[in-house]
């Protein structure tokens, strides 16, 4: 099967509302984009330090969506598969966990995973992930990897030539404001932000649409206005659940 390069860059749901039933559906969305009858889906949990608890929970959720071949790639203390490149190229979906995007990028580059993942993307493997697993594909974004103050990250993988903001609607985290400040000042290039539960579906390097596991949510297009401020435009997200 020949597929165009696709990325599903997600904000997970940090604080699920009462009655929320769609945990893990962003994994399902990525599998649907792949279009395989029995999708092969690999988790890369580097951003959480290859947490065993996280891996086990994620694998159980992914397997709950039906006939799926689930695996994971851990890098601590060494790769758990004999040929990392061959394993990842054999997947239909690669899903990256949230966590520390700064640590993720450093470890990936040490293992040359940045090069391998670009090859996977170019060959049509759907790349997806939440939070850190969303930021990593872009030029940069806002991160708390260095501390609670929130900093501009500007050395992402750059598969997508935009900045990225995640968890863009949380009142108790100033990510929304900081993202817009960084874009306005030029610390980050123009880009897209996602409210909780929203994902950006890119085909090639173009934004195709925003999708969500929560109703009535938006993504946002944010660009500098040329006078030290910013312009923003809501991108209503299609509600997409099984």
Query: What is the structure's pLDDT at 17?
Result: 83
Q: Give domain status of residue 108, yes or no.
A: yes
Query: What is the structure's pLDDT at 3?
Result: 83
Question: What does the DSSP assignment read for 104-140?
Answer: HHHHHHHTTHHHHHHHHHHTTPEEEEETHHHHTTEEE
Q: Distance between CA 242 and CA 229 in Å, rounded? A: 40
Number of independent structural domains in the chain:
1
Exposure of 51 by Cβ count < 10 A (0-12 exposed, 13-18 middle, 19+ buried)? middle
Q: Distance between CA 232 and CA 192 in Å, rounded? A: 9
Mean pLDDT across 137-155: 94
Query: What is the structure's pLDDT at 15?
Result: 81
Query: What is the structure's pLDDT at 170?
Result: 65
Contact 93, 41 (CB under 8 A): yes
Q: Give domain status of residue 217, yes or no.
A: yes
Domain span holding position 145: 6-14+21-239
Mean pLDDT across 114-143: 98
Mean pLDDT across 9-33: 90
Q: Distance between CA 240 and CA 230 in Å, rounded? A: 30
Q: Distance between CA 212 and CA 184 in Å, rounded? A: 27
Query: What is the structure's pLDDT at 36?
Result: 95
Query: What is the structure's pLDDT at 1?
Result: 59
Mean pLDDT across 145-168: 95
- Residue 179: how many CB atoms within 10 A of its CB? 28
Q: What is the CATH number of the domain that holds 92?
A: 3.40.50.880
Query: What is the structure's pLDDT at 19?
Result: 76
Q: Is the pLDDT of residue 231 over 70?
A: yes
In sequence order, which ranges of 157-213 are alpha helices (DSSP H)?
A: 175-185
Q: Give domain status of residue 209, yes or no.
A: yes
| Stretch (H or E) spanning 57 | helix 52-63
Query: What is the structure's pLDDT at 169?
Result: 86
Q: Is the pLDDT of residue 172 over 80?
A: no
Query: What is the structure's pLDDT at 223?
Result: 98
Tokens at 51, concatenated: 């947490």
Contact 109, 75 (CB under 8 A): no
Mean pLDDT across 210-226: 96
Tokens at 172, concatenated: 């108790």
Mean pLDDT across 216-220: 96
Q: Give domain status of residue 149, yes or no.
A: yes
Q: Give domain status of residue 55, yes or no.
A: yes
Confidence of residue 148 (pLDDT cuts 50, 70, 90): confident
- Residue 76: how many CB atoms within 10 A of its CB? 12
Q: Active-site residue numbers?
A: 131, 167
* 191 closest CA partner among 165, 166, 213, 217: 165
Q: Give domain status of residue 1, yes or no.
A: no
The model's pTM is: 0.96
Q: Give domain status of residue 117, yes or no.
A: yes
């Amino acid at each position: 099967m020949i597929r165009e390069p696709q990325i599903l860059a997600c904000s997970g749901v940090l604080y699920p509302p009462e009655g929320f039933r769609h945990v893990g559906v962003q994994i399902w969305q990525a599998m649907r984009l792949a279009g395989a009858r029995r999708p092969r889906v690999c988790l890369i949990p580097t951003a959480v330090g290859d947490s065993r608890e996280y891996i086990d929970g994620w694998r159980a959720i992914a397997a709950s969506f039906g006939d799926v071949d689930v695996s994971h790639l851990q890098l601590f203390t060494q790769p758990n598969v004999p040929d990392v490149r061959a394993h990842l190229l054999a997947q239909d979906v690669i899903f990256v966990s949230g966590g520390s995007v700064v640590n993720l990028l450093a470890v990936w580059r040490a293992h040359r995973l940045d090069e391998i993942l670009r090859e996977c993307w170019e060959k049509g493997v759907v790349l997806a992930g939440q939070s850190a697993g969303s930021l990593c594909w872009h030029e940069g974004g806002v991160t708390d990897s260095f501390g609670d103050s929130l900093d501009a990250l500007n050395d992402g993988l750059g598969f997508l030539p935009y900045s990225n903001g995640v968890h863009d609607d949380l009142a108790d985290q100033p990510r929304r404001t900081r993202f817009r400040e960084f874009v306005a000042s030029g610390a980050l290039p123009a880009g897209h932000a996602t409210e909780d539960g929203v994902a950006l579906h890119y085909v090639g390097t173009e934004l195709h649409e925003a999708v969500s596991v929560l109703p009535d949510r938006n993504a946002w297009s944010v660009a500098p206005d040329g006078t030290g401020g910013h312009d923003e435009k809501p991108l209503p997200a299609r509600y997409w659940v099984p």
